[in-house]
Chains A and B, each alone.
Chain A
Amino acid sequence: MFAKEKFLGEFEQFLLLSILKLADNAYGSTIRQLLADIIERDVTIGALYTTLERLENKGLVESKMGEVTPERGGRAKKYFKVTTKGQHALKRSKQALTSMWENVVLSQIEYCS
C-alpha cells in the first residue's frame, strides 16, 4: 500500500534543518545566513518567507513574534520552531532517501580541475 503523504522538497528540508540547527535563534536573517554559509545558497528573503509560510500552513513549523531591537529599526523578529509533525516529515524524507541510496553504486566520475 502506498503512503499518500508527500515527501518534503529539497528547499523545505534545508529550511527545517536550518531551524533545528539554530534552535531558539531561528528567524529570517539567521536562517538566510546559515543557508549561505553551509550550502552556499543566496536565498532572497521573499523566497524564504514564502516557503516558511507554506510550511506553517502545513503545520510543519510554528512561529511567534519576538523582541524589538534598534538595529532592526524597531521591528520585531519572527521566530520559527519545527513542530513534531515537521520532525516526523523530515525523518520520513531522510529514511526514504537512505532507502533509495541503498545498493546504489555510482560510476567513477573524473572532474576536470
Chain B
Amino acid sequence: MNDSTLTCEQPPKIPSQFLSWTLPENIKEPVLGDLSEEYLQRLSKNTRSTANYWYWRQAIKSGSQFMLKTQRGFIMFIFSMLLFFGFTLMAMLLGGGIVMYIDMQSILIVLPSALAFTFASTSIHDVKKAISVLLSNDIHQDEQVYRLSKRIFSILGNSGLVLGVFMTLIGWVAMGTNLDNLNAFGPAFAISILTIVYGLALKMVCYVAEQKLQTLFESSSKP
C-alpha cells in the first residue's frame, strides 16, 4: 500500500467509538491520534487483521482502564437496573412462576400509552435527547437540557403509574358488574392489578433516571 492510500485508511470504528466514550476529555484527542498513527504504521508492515487485532486490544485495555473513572454514573445506573430486575424476577419465581405476572394486554395498555403521552407533551427529538443525556453521563450540557430531560422522565413515570391505576379501576368496574361468576373473580382480580405493577415498575426506573439527571446537573453546576 502506498502512503496516499494509507492516510485514507481509518482504524476500526467500534473500538474508536468505545475509546471516545471512555477516555477523559483532556487526553481523548492525543490518544486517538497516537493510536490512529500507529495503526497506519502497522497496516503498512502487517496484514489488516493483525493491525485490527492490535487496535482492538489497545482500545479494550485502555478503554476499560478509564471506564470506571469516566463512566461510573452510567455503570452504576445499569447495575442498579439489573439488580432491580434481578430481584423482581427472583421474587416472581419464588411466588410461583413468572408466567402469572406476564399479561401482554396490560403491558400494551401501560407502556405504549405512557410513551405516547410523553411524546405528546414534549417531542420525539426531546425524548431521544433525554435518553442520550442519561446514557452519556455528560456533565457539559446546558441547564435547560437537564431540566427538560428530567421532566420527560417525570412525565413518562407518572403517566405509566396513572394509566396503571386507571386501567385497574376499569377492570374492577367490569368485575363488579359480573360478581355472580365468583370462579372468574380471582384470576380477573390478579390481571387487573398487573397494570399497577407495570406502572410502578416504569415509575421506579424513571425515578432513578430523574435522580441521575439531577446528580449530573449538580455536578455540571459545580465551579
Residues of A within 8 A of B (CB): 27-29, 32-33, 44-47, 49-50, 53, 65, 69-73, 75-78
Contact = CB atoms under 8 A, between A and B. Distances in A.
A45 B37 CA distance: 12
B63 A45 contact: no
A76 B63 CA distance: 20
28 contacts: A27-B30, A28-B34, A29-B34, A32-B34, A32-B38, A33-B38, A44-B61, A44-B65, A45-B62, A46-B61, A46-B63, A46-B65, A46-B66, A47-B61, A47-B65, A49-B31, A50-B65, A70-B7, A72-B33, A72-B37, A75-B29, A75-B30, A75-B33, A76-B29, A76-B30, A76-B33, A77-B34, A78-B30
Interface of B: 6-7, 10-11, 27, 29-38, 40, 58, 61-63, 65-66
B34 A27 contact: yes
Contacts of B27: 49, 53, 78
B34 A73 contact: no
Contact of A44 (B36, B40, B62): B62
A30 to B, nearest CB: 9
Nearest to A74: B33
B61 A73 contact: no
Nearest to B60: A44
A45 B36 contact: no
B65 to A, nearest CB: 4
Closest 7 CB pairs of A and B: A46-B62, A75-B33, A78-B30, A72-B33, A28-B34, A29-B34, A46-B65
B141 to A, nearest CB: 24
B65 A73 contact: no
B38 to A, nearest CB: 5
Given A75-B29, A76-B30, A77-B30, A29 B62 contact: no
